[in-house]
Copies of this chain bind each other. A is one copy, B any other.
Amino acid sequence: MAEILLQHVREAHARIRGCVHRTPVLTSRRLDEISGAHLFFKCENFQKTGAFKARGAANAVLSLGDDEAARGVATHSSGNHAAALSWAAGMRGIGATVVMPRTASPVKIASVERYGGKIVFCEPTHRAREEAADKVVRETGAVLVHPYNDARIIAGAGTAALELLEDVPDLDMVICPVGGGGLLSGTAIAAKGLRPAIRVLAGEPKGAADASASLKAGVRQPVEKPSSVADGLLAFVGDLTFAVIQRHVDAIGTVPDAAIMAALRRLFEVMKIAVEPSGAVAYAALAEGRFDAAGRRVGIILSGGNLDLERTLG
Q: How many residues of A contact B (CB 8 A)?
A: 18
A residues 1-52 in Cβ contact with B at 8 Å: 24, 45-46, 50
- Complex formed: what's the CA distance from A107 to B50 in Å? 27
B107 x A269 contact (CB < 8 A): yes
Known: A273-B273, A274-B273. A309 touches B265 (CB 8 A): yes
Bound-state Cα–Cα, A24 to B310, Å: 28
Among B24, B269, B305, B313, point to the contact of A313 (Cβ < 8 A).
B313
For the residues of A in contact with B, the DSSP-based class is helix
Judging by beta carbons under 8 Å apart, are A272 and B46 in contact?
Answer: yes
With both chains docked as a complex, state the minimum distance between the C-beta of A26 and any C-beta of chain B, in angstroms. 8
Instruction: Give me 15 A-to-B residue pairs in the complex whose CB atoms sit less than 8 angstroms apart, sorted by A's number.
Output: A24-B24, A50-B272, A107-B269, A265-B309, A268-B274, A268-B309, A269-B274, A272-B273, A272-B274, A272-B305, A273-B273, A274-B274, A309-B313, A310-B313, A314-B314
Q: Is residue A307 within 8 Å, beta carbon to beta carbon, of the partner chain?
A: yes
How far is B309's CA from A176's CA once the two chains are assembled, in angstroms? 25
Q: Could you tell me the distance in whole angstroms from the C-beta of A310 to the nearest C-beta in chain B?
A: 8
Q: In whole angstroms, how far apart are the Cα atoms of A299 and B210 in the complex? A: 48
Residues of B within 8 A of A265 (CB): 309
Chain B residue numbers with a CB within 8 Å of A50 are 272
Report Cα–Cα, A274/B265, bound state, in Å: 11
A305 — which chain B residues lie within 8 A by C-beta? 272
Chain B nearest Cβ from A104, distance in angstroms: 16
User: Are B313 and A268 in contact (CB-based, < 8 A)?
Assistant: no
Within the complex, which residue of B45, B269, B313, B314 is in contact with A272, where a contact is CB–CB below 8 Å? B45
Q: What B residues does A274 contact at CB under 8 A?
A: 268-269, 272-274
Closest to A43 in B: B272
In A263-314, the 8 Å CB interface with B consists of 265, 268-269, 272-275, 305, 307, 309-310, 313-314
Name the CB-closest residue of B to A305.
B272
What are the residues of chain B within 8 A of A268 when measuring CB–CB? 274, 307, 309
Q: How far is the CB of A177 from chain B (nearest CB, A)?
A: 16
Residues in A237-278 with C-beta less than 8 Å from chain B: 265, 268-269, 272-275
Please name the residue on chain B nearest to A308 by beta carbon: B269
Q: Measured between alpha carbons, how far is A275 from B269 in the docked complex, in Å?
A: 10
* Min distance, Cβ A276 to any Cβ of chain B, angstroms: 9
Measured in the bound complex, the distance between the Cα atoms of B313 and A314 in whole Å is 7
A48's nearest neighbour on chain B, judged by CB, is: B29
A50 to B29, CA, bound (A): 13
